Amino acid sequence: MSLHKLFKHFISRLGPGLLYAGAAVGVSHLVQSTQAGGMFGFELIIAIIIIHLIKYPFFEFGPRYTAATGQHILHGYLRLGKWAIWLYLFLSISTMFIVQAAITVVTAGLITNIFGLEGLGGHDPQIVAFIISSILLLLALILLVSGHYKLLDKLMKIIILVLTVTSIAAVIMLLFNNPGHYKSATVFFSFSDTVHLIFLATFLGWMPAPLDLSVWHSIWAKSKNESVGKLTSMQDTLFDFRVGYIGTAFLAICFLLMGALVMYGSNIPFAAGGAAFAGQLIDMYEQALGQWAYPIVAIAALATMFSTTLTVLDAFPRSISAALELIFPKKSLLNNEKTYLVWLLIIITGTLFILFFYLASMRDLVKIATIVSFVAAPIFAVLNMQAVFSKNMPDQYRPGKLMWIWCWLGVAALSGCSITYLLLL
C-alpha cells in the first residue's frame, strides 16, 4: 500500500477522538502549558504524563461504552438512577456559561492581537472583545446548525494536523537554536510554596480537560455511528480515542517545551490575560521558525482556539439535550434536535450576558468553574466506572481487574488533588 493510501486510511479511522482533542487543546495547552514551561522549565513534563495516566481510564470509558453498547454513556448513568443524570446536568449547567465565555474571550483576544484590532474605532477594549465574541458565537451557531457532526469531523482533522506539524517544527528549531537562558534561571518548583502548588493544581485540573468531556466524547461517538449508519468496532474506537488522547499529551509537552526554551530564565514577563499571552505564544513560534512562519502559526493558533469554541459550544447543548431525553423520554416536546437548538441559543445568550456584564470579573468566574471541575472530577470518575463495570456491558468489552485497580488509584489521586486544592484556596 502506498504512503498516500496509508495516510488516507489512517485519517479515515479518526473522528470523535479528534473532536475530543479539539475541545481539550485550548487555554490549558496554549496558555497554561506554555506558562508552566516559562515558570519552571522542563520540571512539569512529568506532571503532564502522570495526570494523563491518572485520567486515561475515565476518558476511555466514554467511547468504550458507546462501542460496546451502541448507546452513549449517559445511558449507563441512568441505570444507576435518575439522580446520576440530574447530577450531571447540575454540574454541566453550573459551569457551561463561564467555560464558554472564557474560551470565547481568549479566541476573540487572539483575533484582536493577530489583526491589530485593539481600540477598534476608539472603543473600549472590553467593548471590542464583546463585539468580536458576539461575531464568533454567531459564526459558530451558523456552522453548527448547518453542519452538525460531519462539519466538525472534517474541520478538526485539518486543524489538529496543522497545529501538530507547526508545533513539532517550532520545538525542533528551538532545540537546535534556542536562546539558552537556563544558566540564569533561578525559579524551581517547590511543593512547600503555596503559589506553586495552586498553579500546579489549576494546571492539572484542566489537563488535558475536565472529565465531563468523556461524556461528550461518548455522544460524539454515537453521532458518528448514526452518520455512517453502522456501529464502529471497539478496535477502531479505541484507536481513534488513543490518537486523540496521546496527541493532546504530546501537544501539551510541545507547548511546555516552547515556554521553557524561550521564556525560562529570560526574565520575560508573562502578558496579563490568556488572550495577550496567546499572542505572546505566536511570537515564540516566529522566533523559532522565522517571520515567514507567523501567518501559518497565527492561523493554526486561531484555528485551535476557534475549534475549542466550536466543539465546546456543540458539546454542552448536545449532552444536556441527551440527558433531558433520558429523564423525560415520553415528552414529545423534548425532541432531541429541538432541545439541542434551544440549549444552543441558551448557552450563547448566557455567554454574551457574562461577557457584557462580568468581563472584568472573568478571572474570578474562571476560578469558580475550576473549583467545580476539581470537585466534579472524582464524581465523574466513579460514575464512568460504575457504567463500564456494570452487568450491562458485554463481558468481552468490560475492562479487567488491572484496569479496575488503575481506576481506584485514579479516583484516590483525583480526590486527593481536589481536597488539597480546596484547602489551598
User: What are 195-218's pLDDT values in tens digits?
Assistant: 888 888 888 888 888 898 999 999
pLDDT (0 to 100) of residue 10:
54
Average pLDDT, the chain: 83
pLDDT (0 to 100) of residue 331:
63
pLDDT (0 to 100) of residue 143:
84
pLDDT (0 to 100) of residue 29:
83
> Position 327: which residue type?
I
Q: What is the mean pLDDT of residues 5-25?
A: 68
Does residue 366 carry a pLDDT above 80? no
Whether 309 maps to a domain, the answer reads: yes
CATH number at residue 154: 1.20.1740.10
Whether 223 maps to a domain, the answer reads: no
> Position 83: which residue type?
W
Does residue 332 carry a pLDDT above 50? no
Whether 3 maps to a domain, the answer reads: no
Per-residue pLDDT tens over the stretch 167-187: 888 788 878 776 665 556 667
Whether 9 maps to a domain, the answer reads: no
Per-residue pLDDT tens over the stretch 117-165: 766 666 677 788 889 999 999 999 988 888 655 666 667 777 777 778 8
Per-residue pLDDT tens over the stretch 279-330: 777 777 777 777 777 787 787 778 778 888 888 998 999 999 999 989 988 7
Whether 62 maps to a domain, the answer reads: yes
Whether 341 maps to a domain, the answer reads: yes
- Counting beta carbons within 10 angstroms of the beta carbon of residue 83, is it exposed (0 to 12), middle (13 to 18) or buried (19 or more)? exposed
Residue with cell 447543548: 317
Q: How many domains are contained in the chain?
A: 1
| Residue 6 binned pLDDT confidence (cut-offs 50, 70, 90) | low
Whether 325 maps to a domain, the answer reads: yes
259 Cα distance to chain centroid:
20
**Highest mean pLDDT: which of 3-12, 87-96, 108-117?**
87-96
> Position 312: which residue type?
V
Does residue 420 carry a pLDDT above 50? yes
Are 267 and 39 within 8 A, CB to CB? Answer: no
In degrees, rounded to 5, the angle at the alpha carbon of residue 418 between the alpha carbons of residues 417 and 421 is: 80
Query: Which residue range is the domain that position 182 belongs to?
Result: 15-211+228-424
Does residue 56 carry a pLDDT above 70? yes
Whether 145 maps to a domain, the answer reads: yes
Per-residue pLDDT tens over the stretch 249-272: 999 999 898 888 888 877 777 776
Indicate the Cα dihedral angle 27, 123, 117, 147, nearest 10°: 60
C-alpha cell read off for 74: 449517559
